[in-house]
Amino acid sequence: MTNAPDYLNPNIPPGLRRVSMPLVEATPAALAGYGCLIDAPDAVNVEIVRWPAQGWRQVDPDSGDEGGTTEGVFVSEWRGDVLYGNNEAVAGQYVLAYAVEPAQARECHFRTPLRMLLWHANYHPDGGQLFFPLERRPFVVPLARPGDDVRPQDFVCFYFNGAGGLYIHPNVWHEGVFTLEGRQRFFERQGAVHARVSVDFPHEFGCLLEADLSAVRFDPDDAPDDREARVDTVPDLQLPR
């Protein structure tokens, strides 16, 4: 039996290779197959997946999907070089990512991270999940389409300008929401069963996933909660299939 990851002490070996994630604007077309943009938390119903049958007898059609949803506030916060997540809905606390080599990460400064190094991702087979920013600030979310044979190069880092939120379909690989600096809160809703399937990039693939956050720029003349992201993009980028 595989043990659950230690989310606050991931024990990442030093000197791992890095696999770059493309940084892609979160548009309806780009998010097809992953989820969708939402302009309010109640704009979409969270999909609940019916409990699977164990054999040839089928689950009764009026049962198996009655667990409902749970919700709360998801906090994404950079403390120096370490990005922490706190999911109130499922009482989860996590190290989401690093801004530097994990062994060199320090929490005693306030520098804006220039990159994001991701060590873990998961999906929920029991239901979808939505995140909606409570502060109107940009954020990013790494995603990969469903499939247990997922590879590091399948992941795309989507960026959002903060005007709306994200709904993620069941079985889509993700790892919370990632603020670009400081602390940011999100309303979060997901299936209450909270089944989780994980991929550990250092131990399965000998790598970390990397996104270049320096490509995201802010207009300093805008107020903090009203600023919009300007992102330097690569034209005609092809997303993984």
- Tens digit of each residue's pLDDT (9 = 90 or more) over 127-162: 999 999 999 999 999 999 999 999 999 999 999 999
For the stretch 111-133, pLDDT in tens is 999 999 999 999 999 999 999 99
Binned at pLDDT 50, 70 and 90, residue 228 comes out as: very low
Average pLDDT over residues 1-9: 77
Domain count, the chain: 1
pLDDT at residue 35 is higher than 60: yes
Label residue 176 left, alpha or beta by phi (over 0 means left) and psi (-120 to 50 means alpha): left
Per-residue tokens: 199 = 């991929």
What is the domain extent for residue 97?
17-42+74-141+171-231
Label residue 156 left, alpha or beta by phi (over 0 means left) and psi (-120 to 50 means alpha): beta
In a domain, 239, yes or no: no
- Radius of gyration for the alpha carbons in the chain, expressed in angstroms and rounded: 18
In a domain, 64, yes or no: no
Encoded amino acid at 197, one letter: V
**Per-residue pLDDT, 226:** 45
Q: pTM for the complete prediction?
A: 0.89
In a domain, 83, yes or no: yes
DSSP tag of 106:
-
In a domain, 60, yes or no: no
pLDDT at residue 62 is higher than 50: yes
Quick one: how many helices (H) and strands (E) in the chain?
A: 1, 18
In a domain, 122, yes or no: yes
